[in-house]
Each structure stands twice: as structure tokens, then as C-alpha cells.
Structure 1
Amino acid sequence: MPAPSSTRPGSRSLYRDLRARIGDGSYAAGTPLPSTRVLAAERGLSRGTVSLVYEQLASDGFVDTRPGAATRVAAGAADRIRTQGRADDATEPHRQMPDSDRLSAFAQRLQAMPLRPSAPDPAGVIDFVYGPLAGSDFPTLQWIKALRRAEGQRSQRLEYATPLGAPELRQALQKHLHQTRDIRCSTEQILVVNGSQHALDLCARLLLNPSDRVVVENPGYRMAHQVFAAYGAQLVCADVDDDGLQTAQLAALTAQAPAKLAYATPGHQFPLGGFLPIARRHALLDWARAQRCWLIEDDYDSDYRYTVRPEPSLWSLDRADCVIHVGTFSKTLSPQLRLGYMVLPPALAGLFAQAKLLTDRHSATGPQRALAQLIDDGSYARHVRRMRRKQQARQQALLQALERHLGTQVRIQGAASGLHLAVWFPALPASCEAQLVQAAAQRGVRVYPISPLYLQSSSAQATHAVAGVVMGYALLDLPEIARGVQRLAEALQSLR
């Protein structure tokens, strides 16, 4: 059945129209949606925009996607839409967007992306979300004391600070990174940013033009993919295996046209958890040097290593000054602090500082100076060691519960490090992934489908034939983890 016409252009209109047709039964369960090519031609949109709308529908559990097959309406989607209808209607004024012809090209690309803030959990829900940390794990007393000392040392002259970041924190980071990552750099190469997403935005803003090619991991970190696509870049997908990015594919992927930028998570691949071996690290650097390509090393949670020994960072191995090292304190302290950093090649340091000055002047200095004190006096290192033990205990509880309740019904990836696991269900086809997530939600458990983390244009999705979920554990206590997995097992059984 052809897609409905709309008087309002853009992806928001397309999403709402498709959702409405599913809700009123025009697209019944199991009905294939039009191909992205056909729908793009009918709506006057790009195929990429239509693909993003389909990805959002899949993420919301309204459609099922399978590699090489048509996108079909998911079972029970109409009921869920009708149930949500009243709440959506109440919030609809806040979701309105201007017509596309009144927006920049950047804004139009942004409008097409399914970016939604996380919603709070209802009482009693066990949430295996990745990202948030338990509030009880934050070093509250140490932080309050450090912040009080920092604010008590405020100078008489209140003025804008350097965009690079507080000198105290950059000096502390210089020593910390040398000791923990073998990164040798000057303080002028360190830029303090508002979390790793801010760092990625600066990289995209300063290093990419529309249509430039960016190599990304697939599956991979969705918000990295989205920030590059928002600036008009063309994403080139490199497949991932148990060891991370498959560097052997890089030469073929860029044989016809070079890449301007590459993004990798070598310390703990997101979401599959691979740890990039030293041979692949050298291969990645050799390829980047031959391409004259910038390489972003996202070191987002490598403080949590359990069964792997540390390998040299890409930065420490780089001899061509092409690596941009990105780190964050969101996984060790709190994402609410919005504290991250970049270690930049000498040729880029001044430019990135200028861009930081132009976009937000500088990050808040009080928290930076407080953090510098915690690093300098050893409190931060002790906190990280304590958190590594706690997170490993949570991970072990999750692994044991999966073994006890699901056994051979699951296959697990990414247990060597990090704050989440990729859990696969070999007997459950990928088309049933949304149903599993919904069945778990009905039992008071939130798990997160892995399909939205795959880019549709890649051969990697062809290997994604079974259902999988990402399960974070940093927010939960041990009894909650055990109860949550038991409920997940009941959800899986209900689909049988």
C-alpha cells in the first residue's frame, strides 16, 4: 500500500503518517512497508531520511527489520500506538518542528534523526540501561570537600577562562594520562570539553565537509554516527567481530575514495565489547597514515578492565600525529558532571581551542578545579579502583544469572571489560527482537535492542540474523540483576 501523502515535508511528517497508519490498521501486523527507494521518490526525500524514519519505527517497536527482507509491521504495534496515543497527543505541541524550507541543511538532517531524551523509569522497573551510574557510587563527600576548596580559592577577578580548560585540571590530566594510558603530551594539547559527545561534535564541525567519508564501526555508537551524519558526512561501515574493528576491510572500503576521518572504540568496542589487539591497532594506524586520515580514539570506559591486560593506546603508538584521543569522566564519576577531554595532535590544538572559544567560551571552572584536586591527591585513582571492583561484581552477578536462568539459550559478548554486555538469543530470529523487548517491558524489565546500532547499508547486518540486546549493569544492585534476568527468561519463554 503506498505511503500516505502529506502537506508537510520532512521526516517528522513521514514518521507521524506511518505511525498513524499502523495505529489505525491501514498497515496491519506483518504488512511490508514500501521500500526506502519508492517512499523516498514519492515523498521527495532522500533514501537516508526514509531509512532513519524506519530505524526510529523499529527502535520504538512498531516495525521489524531483517537483512535482505522488507520492513514489516510488528505484531501488537497497533495496540501499543493506540495505548500511547493520549500521552503523545498531550505532548504534541512540544514536538512540532518548522517546515524544512525554513531550516538549514544541517537542521534538516538533524530533524530527520531519532534523537530522544531518556525517560525516567516507572517504580519497580528493573532497567538494564547502559550509561547511567548508581547515585550511591558517587564519591559525594570527597567531591563536596574538593569543590568547597576550589570555590574558596576563587580569585578576586571574575573573568572568562581559557577555552582549553582549567590549567590545574590539564596539568593533572597530563600526569594521569601518562601513568594510565602512556600518553605523553603537553598541557596545550589537552582540551577540556563537556563530555565525549561535545568532543565528537567539535571533530565533525572542524574536520568534515558535506559528503566527506567517515569510517565507523558497525554496529557502533549511534550518537557518533548521528553527529557525523548531521554534518553531511557519508558513513563508511567497517564490520566488527569479537576482537573489534576488522581492520582488514579498510583498504577495500576506501580503495575508490579516501576517508577524511575514522572513529573507533579500541579499548572496548561499543556495543559488542571487543578489545582491539595490538596487531590491529598497528594496522589501523598504518591505514590512517596512508590515507592522511584523522583517527578518533574514543576511550569511553576502558578504566573497567577485568580479564584483559591493557594495550598501548592508539595515541601512544601514533607516529603520524593523526590520532585524536577522547576521554570522559561520565563512566567513572557521573555523566551529569559533563566533564571530558581531548588530547589533540599539535597541528589541531590551537584550532580546536578557537572553536571552543567561539561555541561556549569554556567549560565551568569550579568542577574542573575540584576534579584536579581529586586526581592530584590520589582520591580519583582510589575511587576508580573501588568502582572497578563493584562493577566487576555486578557483571559477575549478571553473568551468573544469565547462566542460571537462560544457559545455552544465550550467547554473550563483551565480558572482558566495560559496563555492559551484548546478549544474543540464537534460537530467536532478529525479526522477534522488538517482541522480546516488549515482553520484557510487560514484566517490568527494560532491555535494549541491538538492531538500531547497526547501519542498514553494511554487510554486517547480514550477519545479524538472531535477536540481541544490550544489557548495562552499572545502575543496578545485585538482587535487582538476578530478578531482572529471571523476568527476562520468562519473557523469552512467553515467545516460544
Structure 2
Amino acid sequence: MIADFRYGDLAAGDFPTLLWKRAVDAAIARRPDRLSYGDPQGVPELRAALQAYLWRARGLRCEPGQIVVVNGSQQGLDLCARLLLDPGDRFVMENPGYAMARHIFSSVGAEAIPVPVDAEGLRTEELEKTSARLAYVTPSHQFPLGGVLPVARRRALLDWARREAAFVIEDDYDSEFRYDISPVPPLHALAEEGEGAPVIYLGTVSKTLSPTLRLGYLVLPPALTESFAVAKQLMDRHTAALEQAALAALLESGAYERHIRRLRRRNAERRATLIDALQRHFGEAIRIEGDAAGLHLLAWLDALPAAAAAPLRAAALRRQIGIHPVAPLYAPDAPQPDSLGLMMGYGALEPKRIDRAVIALKAAVEEVA
């Protein structure tokens, strides 16, 4: 395979192997008096380190007692679905949006209400005619279109949630990576200022360290922490303590943030190389969106219909290129895009292979056109 543009993959060489090994070895060396089950909310040292990190990195104020460490963001979403939704409840989903979240919420018998997004994220004016128990949003980098929700829309979303007595789940899945824009305060910070309803903040290290670690965390309104802690304990007792201790050590020492700064530079190079190659080889035949942040961009091939996705994927695979159309991320009963859009993840790409991959992709497009 020359290149696979699958979103969510990271380059193995970007993982801080030596730092992680030292942190794990140090955690193992701290021999406890006995081996026993831990706090279902997470290792206290990690929750304290996350509290400090979130304030430094995101301007988010919370107490360690509001944090529940989970096995990746998927478990965080599953806990939200089990505890906040009943069969027949309605939940707001960005359309297009994160399909796994839609499936998790639907699995408890709730009904998805797809709300369209544009270049600035969720179209909050559409909420005026919507009643729901919960809203799931990705305001820092809308998944998958890439928009950043403006402050005015954030306030409108929180006002709607307050009127509906609804919860807002803020999935901040890759906010560490910004290139052409300044950070926007998280919804959680606005809610703290009295702007709206309870916000549940969902974070992960899957984009900064590795998706294989399965480490994420929820920042909950105080009224919800006990019920989430009990549910976490019933589900799997607690997240693996060794990995929690290692992450806490990286956060406490500053090594985690130094690693992120290095990773941001590497991904900025990958992003710039990919955009340059797409523009040089496709010219006006391609339209690039959502590239100002995160680890993916959206490439629209307006001359190809959305129905060309399957033949293009096959033509690309014959040339050892993995591509991933955006259409499956649209709600099945909502309007679909007319033209073919590709989600192009670059977090695992070797910069020296990107130009070759784009040339092969263009050849596949020409075969299908």
C-alpha cells in the first residue's frame, strides 16, 4: 500500500516510545502494599493531572471529582447513552457526523434527529424547531466537514439546551491540532459562565498518543458524577491503572505537552504537503474544506457524482491507495451530497509518499470519470 487516507490512524514512529516506557516502568516500580481494585472514576493522580492540563490547554475549569476516566471516547459515549437516554428519547446529531455516536445512542432505543451543518458547524437556527433530550456535537473541529463553531452559535446551542433541559456532549476529539486558526474556548467553559445547560466534555489521547491505549475521560456536571462512577464500576470496575499512572506521569512532567508540540509540527508538515500535492495535481477539479485544524481534510471532487464512490475506491485500491468517501457519515434518511467527497486523514502518512499517492489518486479519478 502506497498510502491509506483513513482517518484516525497515526504514524507508529510518532508514538513517544521511550517516554512511555519510562513512565510505565516508574509506575511498575511503585510497588503498592497490595493489589486491589481502584477508584472507578480513575487514578486520583491522573484526574488531578487532567484537571491542570485542561485549564492550561483549553481554559476549562473543573474539579478532579468531576472527571471519570474511561476506555476511550467510545466508552464515554456508551455511558452517556445508558444513563441519559431512555427508549423513545430524541437526540440531536450533526449531519454529517460521527456515525459511531449515532449508533451508540440509537442502541438504547433513542431516535436520532439529524441537524445539518455548514462551513461553520452545526446550524443552530435549526434547533428552534427541535425538541430533544441530548445533543452530540464536535464544535472545535466538526466531524467530518471540519468547521469550527463560532461563539454566537455556541451560545445559541447552550440557550437551546437550557430551554429543553437537555444535555450537550462536547466531543473535543482533536483540538490539540490547529494550524491557521486561534483556539476557541470549549462549550464547557461558556457553560461555566452561566451561558446554558449542563455540558459533558469528552476527551481522548487517541489522536495525541495512540488509539490502541484506549484512554479517554469525561468531565461531568457535579450532579452526574456519582451515577457515572457507579455505572463505570458496574461495567468494568475501572480503566487499567498502569496506563493511567503512565499518562499521569507524562502530564505532570510536561512531557505530554512537549510531545504534542512536536506532533503538531509533524502533522502541519503532512497537511501542507498534502494540500500542495492536491492543488498541483488536481487544480480546480478539487475543492478542499475543513483543513484548518485536526488530522484530516475533506476533498470534494465536484465533477464526480456521489454514486462514483464504489468504482473510485476500487480503482484507487488497484493503485495501492486507500480512500474513504464521506457519504456514509450522512444520516441515511437525510439529504445526501450530490458530488463525491473524500475524507483524507494524514496523521499516519509519510510526507515523502504523499505526492506519489496523490498522483495515483488522480489516475484513479481519471479512470472513473
Query: TM-score, normalized by length of structure 2?
Result: 0.98
Residue deviations 1:321-352, cap 9 Å, x none? 51000000000000111100000001101100
Structure 1 residue runs of 4+, over 3 Å off?
A: none
Q: What is the root-mean-square deviation in Å for CA atoms of aligned residues?
A: 0.9
CA distance in 2, matches of 1:495, 1:147: 50
1:163 to 40, 57, 65: 40
CA distance in 2, matches of 1:479, 1:487: 14
Q: In the TM superposition, what is the alpha-carbon distance from 1:125 to its structure 2 partner? A: 4.1
Q: In the TM superposition, what is the alpha-carbon distance from 1:211 to its structure 2 partner? A: 1.4
Q: In the TM superposition, what is the alpha-carbon distance from 1:225 to its structure 2 partner? A: 0.8
* SS across alignment from 2:49: helix
Q: Tell me the residue number matched to 1:414.
A: 290
CA distance in 2, matches of 1:376, 1:486: 44
CA distance in 2, matches of 1:456, 1:174: 39
Q: How does 1:261-276 map to 2 (within 5 A)?
A: 261-276=134-149
Q: Tell me the residue number matched to 2:132.
A: 259
CA distance in 2, matches of 1:125, 1:309: 34
* SS across alignment from 1:295: strand
Structure 2, gaps ≥5 residues long:
none
- The one-letter amino acid of 1:428's match is L
- The one-letter amino acid of 2:171's match is D
- The one-letter amino acid of 2:292's match is A
1:373 to 246, 249, 254: 249
Q: How does 1:22-41 map to 2 (within 5 A)?
A: none
- The one-letter amino acid of 1:458's match is A
Q: Tell me the residue number matched to 2:84.
A: 207
CA distance in 1, matches of 2:29, 2:327: 49
Q: Tell me the residue number matched to 2:7.
A: 130
* SS across alignment from 1:406: helix
Q: Tell me the residue number matched to 1:446.
A: 322
CA contact (8 A) 2:2 2:353 kept: no
Q: How does 1:376-395 map to 2 (within 5 A)?
A: 376-395=252-271
CA contact (8 A) 2:201 2:219 kept: yes
Residue deviations 1:244-300, cap 9 Å, x none? 111111112x1xxx2011000001011100011111111111111111000000000
2:152 to 272, 275, 279: 279
Percent of aligned positions with the same letter in both sequences? 52
Q: In the TM superposition, what is the alpha-carbon distance from 1:401 to its structure 2 partner? A: 0.6
CA distance in 2, matches of 1:435, 1:228: 32
- The one-letter amino acid of 2:157's match is L
CA contact (8 A) 1:129 1:472 kept: yes
Matched, 1:324 2:200: yes
Q: Tell me the residue number matched to 1:18.
A: none
Residue deviations 1:436-458, cap 9 Å, x none? 11111111100001111111222
Q: Tell me the residue number matched to 2:53.
A: 176
* SS across alignment from 1:436: helix
Structure 1, gaps ≥5 residues long:
1-123
CA contact (8 A) 1:321 1:345 kept: no
Matched, 1:456 2:329: no
* SS across alignment from 1:449: coil
Q: Tell me the residue number matched to 1:51.
A: none
Residue deviations 1:377-411, cap 9 Å, x none? 11000000000010010001110110111111111
* SS across alignment from 2:74: helix
Q: Tell me the residue number matched to 2:345.
A: 472
Larger Rg: 1
Query: TM-score, normalized by length of structure 1?
Result: 0.73
Q: Tell me the residue number matched to 1:298.
A: 171
Q: In the TM superposition, what is the alpha-carbon distance from 1:234 to its structure 2 partner? A: 0.4
Matched, 1:483 2:360: no
- The one-letter amino acid of 1:488's match is L
CA contact (8 A) 2:159 2:197 kept: no
Q: How does 1:66-81 map to 2 (within 5 A)?
A: none
Q: Tell me the residue number matched to 1:198.
A: 75
Structure with the larger RCO, 1 or 2 (CA within 8 Å, 6+ apart) = 2
Matched, 1:152 2:29: yes
CA contact (8 A) 2:173 2:202 kept: yes
CA distance in 2, matches of 1:295, 1:251: 16
